Chain A
Amino acid sequence: MTGRARVRARGLCRNLESRNLGQSQASSWNHPVVCDSEASASTSLLDTDRIPQRFKGSGSAGDGAGNTLIQRGGKTWNSFLELGIHTREKLAHVRDCKTGSSGAPVKLVTNLFNLGLPREWHLFQYHVVFTPDLASKRLRIALLYSHSKFLKKAKVFDGTMLFLSEKLEEKVTELSGETQKGIYVTITITLISELPSSSPTCIQFFNIIFKKILRKLSMYQIGRNFYSPSDPVEIPQHKLSLWPGFAISVSQFENKLMFTANVTHKVLRNETVLEFMADLYNRKDKSHFIETCEKELLGCIVLTRYNNRTYRIDDIDWSVKPTDAFQKRDGTKITYFDYYKQQYDISLSDLTQPMLVSQLKSKGTDSGEVRIAHLVPELCFLTGLSKRVTSDFRVMKDLATETHLNPICRQQRLSRLADNIQRNTEARFELETWGLQFGCQVSLTGRVVPSEKILMQDSICQPMSAADWSRDMRHCKLLGAQRLNNWLIVCGHRNEDAAESLLSCLRRVSEPMGFLVGQPKIIKAQENTAAFIRAIQQHVNPDVQLVLCVLPSNQKDCYDSIKRFLSLDHPVPSQCVLAQTLSRQGTMMSIATKIAMQVVCKLGGELWAVEIPLKSLMVVGIDVGRDACARGHSIVGFVASSNSRITRWFSRCILQSTKSDIADCLKVCMKGALNKWYRYNHCFPTRIIVYRDGVGDGQLQTIVDYEVPQLLSSLRDSNSSYSPKVSVIVVRKSCVPRFFTEMNRTLQNPPLGTVIDSEATRPEWYDFYLISQAAYQGTVTPTYYNVIYDDNGLKPDHMQRLTYKLCHLYYNWPGLIKIPAPCQYAHKLTFLVGRSIHREPSIELADYLFYL
């Protein structure tokens, strides 16, 4: 980093009084973790977006009483928050039995392990009081632990609550002790409760025990997961290290306490912030160095080399360098250089580097004082994946190869973990003192529900593979396609040929589909956003059915502007294609086919159907997304079927501040959906099934207590005599269990349509797992369905099969998908609005799948 420009963009020196580089244990890690599974990988990797905004006005310490104190993603374990929510007991038809029966049984291996406990096992919870009161938690713990009564006994004490596996003789026990300072202290220990193993506190307690055990196996805790840093997978070409690890938990499953372990990976970067900056400096236009540097780094989580702590970069102070002095807590002044030399024996090599500024988390009941720490770039490692990296297809591909493990590798890692737990003496001791027995891996029986036939206009096809029936339907007519007469193609000057060839291909593929494509008006425009919008503005009129744009480059703003204009100002369905995509040899026909089908949907057509035995059933999908620009806003996507065949959809999207409850806008959406249904069917649906996706950790209670009643009352409001039968199902794309099936002597993903509704489910819920998507790489993540409200009274079998049927109806993909189609549509809608439009799309488009 020789001769690097020393930029002093901001002259002010910052006050460092509050600097605090304490030495307590690394505690809070909140950066993205790559989950190994197909589906969760994509969402987790984008986690960087969730890092709270940069704090403004970092100024001097202590100036901002209460200004923008950031809540760092205090994720709590969802399974804890959801303990104690009992929805099944209210559902009479599944109180005794919630399992289905149809389909072929299939033997499945799981990632669950039995945990044995003696009969009549109880955990004894005591409340501990010290007189005189000791402020220091550490002192309280030390005093209690050193008491002879508790030596060699299984105990957990947090300073107030004491857990024992054996009951003390007395309900109230008085002990005495003496601190090192010679203060005589009385310890009063009072029994509060005897907890059975299934109680929520106990479950939480078991989780703590297992965390302790994994630590004993020299695994390293980051966030909630445990990793083995000693067996890293290196991807040097991207400067990445992957640590293999596990997400573990203990939960009460259907009839047993079980331990689950899921393979995960932690992505770490072999790059210090200083190296990153130097790299950026050499790469980018130097005049914009500061700007790009801040853009890339602010919000990143860094790991300091010397004390294992993580910090978020909130600012970069270009005016401070390592040779500058700061004030230590004891009031003495020292330069950064000397400080690191003295404290950690580290000699900084670059004396001109700027300082990273991080706002420290305020501890508990703080006065709201903002404390900041200055960090030396040379000593900070970048963690997680930057936005630039996640958008790099090559990096993601290399990452996927390492992280998407197939069932065989997964099983190997699981058995190794189980082995380690059973063999390690310390781990075994920990288990034994509490009376826990680590049992064998759980096998169970699932069912493969019958496959579905795909109904086309004049034929019924039984696809070879439910994962992809594009071949099977090649010569079949689509269910219903409007004629495309009046439409525009807008393309750049240089892409006229591409547009022409696309047009001829479109016509060729659309004819056998039964989709008639008329001659469009082809408009050539300058290759810039403004010119495109102008061209569209000039030529679009109320009769235009579709605008197809051939975009010269992959510029987000051009796409966004077109989508915005055509869904807000002048609502017309639109289709965008990249010119580059059309230039690829040999793929034109398949691209044209895909575009043709999308266009049919966007015009309000139907592609295919499956048999739906229930008449007058409306299915609804709800998803909640975020606005990429306006933080603090959530986007509610609501998609409801508007015919009995479930081929036509009514879509609404509502933006609202995160504070207000999602249920509030459901009323509006529901009303619109019912009206639409009435218009097409001249009656109201007798059954409504709502699939609710996008449920965050710990939100289940709100949905049960608030959202469901709101939804029901909104139905009643629409017509007093109208009372449809309603079911509400919470859909979760990520869940703890994994299932493998043994086939031809190796482990594989279970077949499509596998349902698991026993053992790995929860006793207090009407729930099941369904595997409805094929994983080409890695292990499939089952989708978890929890029926929280149901007066439809469908048999579990029917509920499961209906759900499976709905996974066939996503028109953007001729095959099964992992969630019911209405949820995927709702997701797609919120995605488009959150990424490009940022406002509620025109209601005129509500009848079309314009967002595909």
Chain B
Amino acid sequence: MVDSHVRGVQVKENIKFTPSLSEQRHKFVLDFVRKHKPQKVADLGCANCKLLWRLKYHESIEVLAGLDIDENILTRNIYRLHTGAGDYLDPRERPLTITLYHGSVVEKDPCLLGFDLITCIELIEHLEAKELSQFPEVIFGFFSPTTVIISTPNSEFNPLFSGKTLFRHPDHKFEWDRTQFQSWALDAARHYGYSVEFTGLGEPPPGAEAVGFCTQIGVFVKTIPNTVKSLHDEKTIECAHTTVGTVIYPSLKEEKYLRKAVSNEVFSQILKMKRVLLESLKMKNDNDNSDELEFVKPKCDESKNDPTEEIPKPFCIENVFYVPLERLFSFPKIKHLCGDLETLKMLIANEVMLSSDGSSVMINTVDEEDCDLSDNDGDDLRFV
């Protein structure tokens, strides 16, 4: 909605906040998310998508939506929300879908129904009088999320800025003092069954405490839960917003990523155990003294503190190293990923060789024959 430079406060020379006020607002939302762990979060007036970008790192969130009236700013900033290599190498535990919509915040669109949190950060002051009057009905009445965070400038703070402009930003249609905001908020809350608490960010300088925070914030919490029925009815309403883009993150809920995560972990543990074994064998061969046992033992259990006595140990028959699945399952990460032994077996079945009774993973301890000479081009260096 607003350019990134301007979205932050127009602090004139004399007052500066550290960290910046926009950063503080984002942090406020993030702390809220960390505390309440919402699953579905929408940011209205998401503009450059920076808040969405910060939100996407939160594991609790599975659906993230952004809405803005300026399609251009969305298409230019959607890249911030794209998946990256890291998201594929180390997928999230839970799914995440991010969607950006182009449209007005006063249109009733079913895509924003059923959210746990909707944020409107420095949004309402950009609304024309007519839009502002429709706004509570749409957001509280229609979208009706569990919680809403609304922030807006506190006009009482303005005299502390040296600038001469009426508002902090040319696109602002109004700036409210605390009484105006709070009465508007309390009205809306009362009407749509929400409770509201007020707070703010940007402490006034000493001596001017009376003006209150630079940014005022209202946190709305729904007091009457939605009935499934009412949600369902509203979903039949036609979509008003156009989708600018959807980003779907890979997650361990998808089997192919889970399979990958499990087999990587399994291989890394097996190879670690195999190395310990080979080292201990080598020690035995090299010098036949007694501290060899001492050397092996602590290393075998290095990562575990639980008693490993009951869990079957890896063993070696001739050149084949057997690692019981139960043993693998005792590693917390593998246990966490698979949940049960059968799942583990199912997930790795294609990647490893299992013993005939299916209870252990088999791996060769002797490395295959080295480079085959017959197919080289006879270079001198190959002979070396």
Which residue from B2, B6, B57, B380 sits with its C-beta under 8 Å from A576? B380
Q: Give CA–CA (A345, B31) in the complex, Å.
A: 10
Q: Which residues of B contact A307 (CB under 8 A)?
A: 84, 86
Q: Which residues of B contact A180 (CB under 8 A)?
A: 2-3, 5-6, 169-171
Determine whether B184 belongs to the interface, using a CB cutoff of 8 Å to chain A: no
Q: Which residues of A contact B303 (CB under 8 A)?
A: 2
The answer on a CB contact under 8 Å between B374 and A587 is yes
Q: Which residue of the partner chain A has the closest CB to B79? A: A25
Determine whether B366 belongs to the interface, using a CB cutoff of 8 Å to chain A: no
Q: Determine, out of B94-102, B204-212, B262-270, the stretch whose residues face the partner at the interface.
A: B262-270
The answer on a CB contact under 8 Å between A594 and B378 is yes
Known interface pairs A305-B89, A330-B20, A381-B86; A581-B76 also in contact (CB < 8 Å) = no
Interface range, A side: 35 or more
The answer on a CB contact under 8 Å between B260 and A381 is no
Determine whether A342 belongs to the interface, using a CB cutoff of 8 Å to chain B: yes
The answer on a CB contact under 8 Å between A813 and B89 is no
Complex interface residues of chain B between 54 and 109 (CB less than 8 A to chain A): 54, 57-59, 70, 72-73, 76, 79-80, 83-90
The answer on a CB contact under 8 Å between A332 and B19 is yes
Determine whether B316 belongs to the interface, using a CB cutoff of 8 Å to chain A: no
Q: Which residues of B contact A172 (CB under 8 A)?
A: none
Known interface pairs A180-B170, A554-B384, A812-B378; A236-B263 also in contact (CB < 8 Å) = yes
The answer on a CB contact under 8 Å between A578 and B383 is yes
Q: Which residue of the partner chain A has the closest CB to B367? A: A394
Interface membership of chain A positions 328-368, coded 1 if the CB is closer than 8 angstroms to chain B and 0 otherwise: 10111000000000111110000000000000000000000
Determine whether B233 belongs to the interface, using a CB cutoff of 8 Å to chain A: no
Known interface pairs A282-B272, A308-B84, A330-B20; A590-B380 also in contact (CB < 8 Å) = no
Q: Which residues of A contact B169 (CB under 8 A)?
A: 180
Q: Give CA–CA (A234, B256) in the complex, Å.
A: 10
Question: B72 to chain A: closest CB distance in Å?
Answer: 5
The answer on a CB contact under 8 Å between A181 and B170 is yes
Known interface pairs A239-B268, A303-B86; A145-B57 also in contact (CB < 8 Å) = no
Q: Give CA–CA (A342, B275) in the complex, Å.
A: 38
Determine whether B190 belongs to the interface, using a CB cutoff of 8 Å to chain A: no
The answer on a CB contact under 8 Å between B264 and A239 is yes
Determine whether A680 belongs to the interface, using a CB cutoff of 8 Å to chain B: no
Complex interface residues of chain B between 16 and 66 (CB less than 8 A to chain A): 18-20, 23, 27, 30, 34, 50, 53-54, 57-59
The answer on a CB contact under 8 Å between A345 and B370 is no
Complex interface residues of chain B between 123 and 155 (CB less than 8 A to chain A): none
Secondary structure of the A side of the interface?
mixed
The answer on a CB contact under 8 Å between A305 and B86 is yes
Q: Which residue of the partner chain B has the closest CB to A345? A: B57
Q: Which residue of the partner chain A has the closest CB to B165? A: A182
Q: Which residues of A contact B260 (CB under 8 A)?
A: 232, 234, 236, 241, 270
The answer on a CB contact under 8 Å between B86 and A306 is yes
Q: Give CA–CA (A282, B87) in the complex, Å.
A: 28
Q: Which residues of A contact B263 (CB under 8 A)?
A: 234, 236
Q: Which residues of B contact A220 (CB under 8 A)?
A: 83-85
Q: Which residues of A contact B314 (CB under 8 A)?
A: none
Complex interface residues of chain B between 247 and 285 (CB less than 8 A to chain A): 250, 260, 263-264, 266-268, 271-272, 275
A contact residues vs B (CB 8 Å cutoff): 2, 23, 25-26, 136, 138-139, 141-142, 145-146, 179-182, 220, 222, 229-230, 232, 234, 236-237, 239, 241, 243, 268, 270, 275, 279, 282-283, 303-308, 328, 330-332, 342-346, 381, 393-394, 551, 554, 559, 575-578, 581, 584, 587, 590-591, 594-595, 597-598, 776, 812-813, 817, 828, 851-852
- Show 26 residue pairs from A and B whose CB-CB distance is below 8 angstroms, ordered by the A residue: A25-B79, A136-B5, A142-B73, A220-B83, A234-B263, A234-B351, A236-B260, A236-B267, A239-B267, A239-B268, A241-B88, A241-B260, A243-B88, A279-B272, A308-B86, A330-B19, A342-B27, A343-B54, A344-B57, A345-B57, A345-B59, A394-B367, A559-B384, A598-B378, A598-B380, A812-B378
- Give 9 new A-B contacts, CB below 8 A, not counting A220-B83, A229-B85: A136-B5, A180-B5, A236-B266, A303-B89, A305-B90, A307-B84, A346-B57, A393-B370, A812-B377
